[in-house]
Structure 1
Amino acid sequence: MVNWGMIGAIISPNVGGWLGALTMSGKVKQPDGKAWYQTLNKPSWTPPSWLFGPAWTALYSGMGYASYLVYTECGGLTDDAVLPLSLYAGQLLLNWTWTPIFFGKQKIGLGFAHMLALDATAVACTYSFYNVDPTTAYFMVPYLGWLSFATCLNYSIWQRNKPKPKI
């Protein structure tokens, strides 16, 4: 028997990520035809662009499965599920809205501030998930690791691309 609830929980976070990526693809070109992101001064440890899609698909799927575990352990949308699933929804919304801020609006510093809020919410979500079902840590901790890396990358790109002060 197909567990449609589990499948929906795994696919749902990916949908927002895919929609964010689709809205940004092919946009924000510079006069030389390069995408804005390609023109930025990035650190040598920046992953190749092709890695982001598979990484986020795996991470979104893992956190979606963790949300399913919390939902089932709490017996559905019960009082016990309200806090962890609200934190989950909040961090997911922050996650999805980072892309339009960083890429769409080209606000690297605001993207970094947004990322810090996402980090805090994701940690709170992971902690609340763990308190419901410790197994969820296997699916949320890789996400926290990637967010930590992404936060450092965002900060580095922001620092490397600040406008030079006029003398």
Structure 2
Amino acid sequence: MEVNVIFSAILIFIIVYLLFSLSGILFPIDRTWYASLKKPSWTPSGKTIGIIWAILYALIALSLAIVEYKIGLKNTSITFMLLWVINYLANQAFSFFEFKAKRLDLAFLDTAVVAITTLLLIFATLQYSVLAAILLIPYLIWSTIATLLAWSIYRLNK
């Protein structure tokens, strides 16, 4: 049985990592358009942002894999799973709003939804695993920074 639980947790990690990476494939960055935008001086480079997200996706996937390993996702609450779905969809929607629709206002609102649902996820995850909840803290920090950045870019370009 232990092997099945470990395999299931590894599978969750891989699936979640790939799913979170999907928006970059579906809605690639329009580098020319993004470069033309006015941005605050503290805007990280595209390469830095990419590295941050790669690390965050691993932490997000590991967090959910830990919950799978400890109790199984099927044993979590509907609220927990709903928060994950909303957070995931909002995370994916950012690339659509920012790079496909070029709607800086919606991109900003979307990042706020990501930050808020990440905070709620941390609290919801605590009941299943303190470590899994702690792994989401960098995601909350970055999504808050991303919200401030998206707001700044929107204000500078409206």
TM-score range, shorter chain: 0.7 to 0.9
% identical equivalent positions? 24
Bigger Rg, structure 1 or 2: 1
The one-letter code of the counterpart of 1:23 is: L
List runs of 5+ in structure 2 lacking aligned partners: none
The one-letter code of the counterpart of 1:74 is: I
Q: 2:106 aligns with which of 106, 110, 119?
A: 110
List runs of 5+ in structure 1 lacking aligned partners: 29-33, 163-167
Q: 2:94 aligns with which of 63, 84, 98?
A: 98
Alignment of 1:123-142 (within 5 A): 123-142=119-138
Q: 2:24 aligns with which of 21, 26, 46?
A: 21
Q: Distance in 1 between matches of 2:102 and 2:90?
A: 17
Partner of 1:61: 58
Q: 2:82 aligns with which of 79, 86, 89?
A: 86
Partner of 2:10: 7
- After superposition, the Cα gap between the structure-2 partners of 1:43 and 1:49, relative to the gap in structure 1 and judged at 3 Å, is same
- After superposition, the Cα gap between the structure-2 partners of 1:155 and 1:76, relative to the gap in structure 1 and judged at 3 Å, is closer
How many residue pairs match? The answer is 155
Q: Indicate the SS of the match to 1:92.
A: helix
- After superposition, the Cα gap between the structure-2 partners of 1:82 and 1:159, relative to the gap in structure 1 and judged at 3 Å, is same
Higher helix share: 2
Partner of 1:31: none
Deviations 1:134-158 (A, max 9, x none): 1123210000000011001000000
Alpha-carbon contact 2:12-2:68 (below 8 Å) kept: no
| Shift, 1:14, TM fit | 2.8
Q: Distance in 1 between matches of 2:90 and 2:69?
A: 24
The one-letter code of the counterpart of 1:82 is: I
Alpha-carbon contact 1:42-1:157 (below 8 Å) kept: yes
| Shift, 1:81, TM fit | 3.8
Q: Indicate the SS of the match to 1:132.
A: coil
Let me know the Cα RMSD of the aligned residues.
2.0
Instruction: Find out whether 1:119 has 2:115 as its counterpart.
Output: yes
